[in-house]
Amino acid sequence: MDESTLKIRKRMTLADQLYGQILEQIVSGTLQQGDKLPSENQICTAFGVSRPVVREALRRLQDDGLIEARRGVGSFVRRRPPQGLIQFATADTVSGLMRALEARMSFEAAAARFAAMRAGQRDISRLRIALAELEERMRRRLPASDADFNFHIAVAEASKNEVFVILLQSVREAIESAMNVAQGLTRGGTENRIQRVMQEHRQIYEAIVARDPDAAGLNMAHHLLQARQRVTDNAREE
């Protein structure tokens, strides 16, 4: 790791900033897949932060599948994110975006389950329109984060539980930021990638229409897991 790296700024959470600094080095190729990271002490010295900050940043990188820890040996780069990742988000905000996706996997899966049990014809109609708009924008490779959010909020509304809607609305900025990154990477990807993302949304819709709560919840959780992995894994660019 280049010890001339800029010192951590104090504006954001230190662990987020350190996460971003290490992420930038992985994306740029300064740290290659399989490379060993410096020791905790070396990172503390290089970036001017405490050991707890280093451990938190490394834990988040490990949770996101970017590095792996080997007991008694150290931490190693597990995979490289898509090169375009830091074109759509600053490196020190990626950790927060990943936490947003992580949280969504729980409560949006539950919202989809209840939507499958409770959605009325108006809800199904809104979902169909939202899905059609999302697919149209994705086929044309146009920015689609607004359409993506509209689909997910329609699922929450179909659950007939206003708490799910409030949860989505209250973190809308973070969710749309994450959607902008994921959609931006997909928009610049292959046709197969675009088709896969559209299919994930369609499977959620079809499970709700079929009144299958288990499938709806699983499909939503699967979609968000895949979105999370697409953001951090260069191998999923195809």
Q: What is the pLDDT along the chain (238 residues), one digit of tens a residue?
A: 544 444 544 446 899 899 999 998 998 889 999 999 999 999 999 999 999 999 999 999 999 989 999 988 999 999 888 877 877 777 778 888 888 888 899 999 999 999 999 999 999 999 999 999 999 999 999 999 999 999 999 999 999 999 999 999 998 888 888 888 889 888 988 999 999 999 999 999 999 999 999 999 999 999 999 998 888 876 555 5
Type of residue at 7: K
CATH number listed for the domain at residues 14-77: 1.10.10.10
- Please state which CATH class domain 93-236 belongs to: mainly alpha
* pLDDT the model gives residue 185: 87
The one-letter code for the residue type at 184 is: G
Any idea where the domains of the chain sit in the sequence?
Answer: 14-77, 93-236
Counting other chains too, the contacts that 65-74 makes at CB distance below 8 Å and 24 or more residues apart are 65/229, 65/232, 65/233, 66/23, 66/26, 66/232, 67/22, 67/37, 73/36, 74/36, 74/37, 74/39
Strand (E) or helix (H) holding 53: helix 51-63
Asked if 23 and 67 touch (Cβ cutoff 8 Å), the reply is no
φ, ψ at 141 (rounded to 5°): 55, 45
What per-residue confidence (pLDDT) applies to 175?
A: 87
Of all helices (H) and strands (E), which one includes residue 116? helix 94-118
Distance CA 25, CA 58 (A): 14
CA 66/CA 58 separation, integer angstroms: 9
The count of residues in the chain is: 238
What is the predicted pLDDT for the residue at 141? Answer: 95
